[in-house]
């Protein structure tokens, strides 16, 4: 039977999770809740998503512009097995206490909530099984998800001794007209290390990681510069092969004309991705290097898109509709059209059998 999923908060993340839920054959979208009848409410109606007002007093405003609503958020939650809370930062933790706990509904939160306020954090590549059957789980932020994905690949391959990372963060999302900076680079936070390392530790407490972050005037993507001391000796080729073996990582080459976040987003547009969403973490092939048992690489993070996959896996984990991480990850990737690396890294170009083996494993083909 399909899991019934409600989406509370239909902004950047909520609308993407709603679309992703609608694509899964083991999930049913019972509705989306909003505070106001703006253009996103009309789009939800066009898509056939049942629309709910955040509270009863707001229903009239929707009806006044001709939008039919199915009720209030509480009515929506009565129809659902689980709610994904994608309301603005900090509101999720309030909703947990004031709405979800009293109603006894399972809830998934986003990275804007504090780990301690929710009690558990999630990344599908790192700790899927820890979320099995839990009532309240937070999917870690876009930056943390990006770090967790590529670092878990390195950890599998060679064991992580120490991570140092510099995060160049987008100043705002494309729709955020009132946020900046527009002509500055802001150390953000100005204190070192930044909160991103401790956030990674909410899913992988054993990793020694410290991060520094700045904000820059761009809306397209974040960009990470990562240095990892590893436990055992590895070659550059082994690291590239490991990255290539993960569907949610995408090796890209500057030499192919993908030398910037702008060109990577253009690739995503050319691929016909909805809203140009790049669910995979792009890693610049040329940047991958190993020096004295230290792995170096640069990656991008499409902040609006990467976490959508983990939200879907988290729904399966908390409802225990799928207990095996790999099976859930594969289902999600298949339904979404995740494609992995743009093409094999140069070191595998003359090894078609190895490439075939990797593909078979990725798709679970014996």
Ligand X SMILES: NC(=O)c1ccc[n+]([C@@H]2O[C@H](COP(=O)([O-])OP(=O)(O)OC[C@H]3O[C@@H](n4cnc5c(N)ncnc54)[C@H](OP(=O)(O)O)[C@@H]3O)[C@@H](O)[C@H]2O)c1
Establish if 110 lies at the interface with ligand X (CB under 6 A). Answer: yes
Closest separation in Å from C-beta 255 to ligand X: 29
Q: How far is residue 200's CA from residue 190's CA, in Å, rounded to a whole number? A: 19
- According to the binding rule CB under 6 A, does residue 13 interact with ligand X? yes
Determine the 3-state secondary structure of 324 from DSSP.
Answer: coil
* 283 is a contact residue toward ligand X (CB under 6 A): no
The active-site residue, picked from 126, 142, 148, 314, is 142
Q: For residue 169, which of 231, 217, 127, 130 has the smallest C-alpha distance?
A: 217
Nearer to ligand X, 141 or 261 (CB): 141
Q: For ligand X, give the closer residue by CB, 141 or 241.
A: 141
Q: Give yes or no for residue 9 binding ligand X (CB under 6 A).
A: yes
By CB under 6 A, tell whether 12 contacts ligand X. Answer: yes
**DSSP labels for 74-87?**
HHHHHT-SEEEE-S
Q: Would you give the DSSP letter of residue 98? A: I
Tell me: does residue 229 bind ligand X (CB under 6 A).
no
Question: CA 167, CA 69: separation in Å to the nearest integer?
Answer: 42
Stretch that binds ligand X, among 83-91, 183-191, 288-296, 356-364 (CB under 6 A): 83-91
Binding ligand X (rule: CB under 6 A), the pick from 7, 278, 283, 307 is 307
- Give the nearest distance from C-beta 33 to ligand X in angstroms: 5
The single residue among 150, 303, 332, 341 that binds ligand X, judged by CB under 6 A, is 303
Minimum distance of ligand X from residue 116's CB (angstroms): 15
Would you say 6 and 84 are in contact if contact means Cβ atoms under 8 Å apart?
A: yes
Per residue, what are the HEC states of 193-223? CCCHHHHHHCCCCCCCEEEEEEEECCCCCEE
Beta-carbon contacts of residue 354 (< 8 Å; ≥ 6 apart): 241, 348
Two structure tokens written together for 22: 């609608």
**Interacting residue with ligand X among 3, 7, 8, 240 (CB under 6 A):** 8
- Closest approach of ligand X to the CB of residue 35, in Å: 4
Q: How far is CA 41 from the centre of its chain?
A: 23
137 binds ligand X (CB under 6 A): no
Whole-angstrom distance, CA of residue 173 vs CA of residue 220: 7
Site string (232-251) toward ligand X, x via CB under 6 A: --------------------
Query: Does 332 participate in binding ligand X (rule CB under 6 A)?
Result: no
148 is catalytic: no
User: Site residues for ligand X, window 43-62 (CB under 6 A)?
Assistant: 54
DSSP type of residue 72: B
Contact 174, 203 (CB under 8 A): no
| 261 contacts ligand X (rule: CB under 6 A) | no
Q: Provide the β-strand partners of residue 36.
A: none
Give the x-and-dash track for 18-37 against ligand X (CB under 6 A): ---------------xxxx-
Q: Report in angstroms how near the CB of residue 323 gets to ligand X at its nearest.
A: 26
115 near ligand X (CB under 6 A)? no
Q: How far is CA 320 from CA 2, 286, 297, in A?
A: 12, 40, 35
Our CB check for ligand X shows the closer of 52 and 128 to be 52
123 sits near ligand X (criterion: CB under 6 A): no
Asked whether position 142 contacts ligand X by CB under 6 A, the answer is: yes
| 141 touches ligand X by CB under 6 A | yes
Query: How far, CA to CA in Å, does 294 sit from each of 56, 165, 197?
Result: 57, 13, 18
| Three-class SS state of 100 | helix
Binding site for ligand X (CB under 6 A): 8-9, 11-14, 33-36, 38, 54, 86-89, 91, 110-113, 141-142, 173, 303-304, 307
Residues tagged active-site: 142
């Amino acid at each position: 039977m399909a899991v019934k999923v409600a989406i509370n908060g239909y902004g950047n993340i909520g609308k993407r999770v709603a679309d992703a839920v609608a694509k899964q054959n083991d999930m049913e979208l019972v509705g989306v809740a909003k505070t106001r009848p703006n253009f996103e409410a009309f789009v939800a109606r066009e898509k056939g998503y049942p629309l709910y007002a955040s509270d009863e007093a707001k229903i009239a405003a929707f009806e006044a512009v001709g939008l039919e609503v199915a009720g209030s958020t509480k009515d929506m939650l009565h129809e659902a097995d689980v709610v994904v809370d994608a309301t603005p930062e900090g509101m999720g933790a309030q909703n947990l206490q004031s709405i979800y706990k009293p109603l006894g509904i399972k809830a998934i939160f986003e990275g804007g909530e504090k780990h301690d306020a929710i009690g558990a954090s999630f990344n599908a590549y790192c700790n899927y099984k820890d979320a099995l059957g839990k009532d309240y789980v937070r999917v870690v932020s876009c930056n943390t998800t990006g770090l967790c994905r590529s670092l878990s690949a390195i950890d599998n391959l060679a064991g992580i001794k120490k991570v140092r990372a510099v995060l160049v963060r987008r100043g705002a999302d494309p729709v955020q007209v009132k946020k900046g900076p527009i002509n500055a680079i802001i150390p953000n936070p100005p204190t070192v290390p930044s909160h991103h390392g401790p956030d990674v530790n909410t899913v992988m407490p054993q990793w020694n990681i410290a991060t520094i972050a700045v904000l820059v005037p761009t809306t397209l993507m974040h960009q990470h510069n990562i240095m990892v001391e590893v436990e055992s000796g590895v070659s550059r080729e082994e690291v590239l092969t490991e990255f290539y073996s993960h569907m949610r990582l995408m090796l890209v080459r500057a030499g192919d004309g993908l030398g910037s976040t702008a060109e990577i987003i253009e690739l995503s547009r050319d691929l016909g991705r909805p809203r140009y969403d790049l669910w995979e973490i792009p890693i610049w092939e040329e940047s991958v290097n190993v020096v004295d048992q230290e792995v170096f690489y640069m990656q991008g993070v499409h902040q609006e898109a990467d976490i959508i996959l983990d939200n879907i896996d988290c729904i399966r984990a908390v409802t225990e509709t799928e207990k095996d991480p790999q099976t859930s990850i594969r289902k999600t990737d298949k339904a979404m059209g995740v494609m992995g690396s743009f093409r094999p890294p140069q070191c595998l170009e003359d090894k078609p059998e190895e490439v075939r083996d990797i593909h078979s494993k990725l798709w679970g083909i014996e």
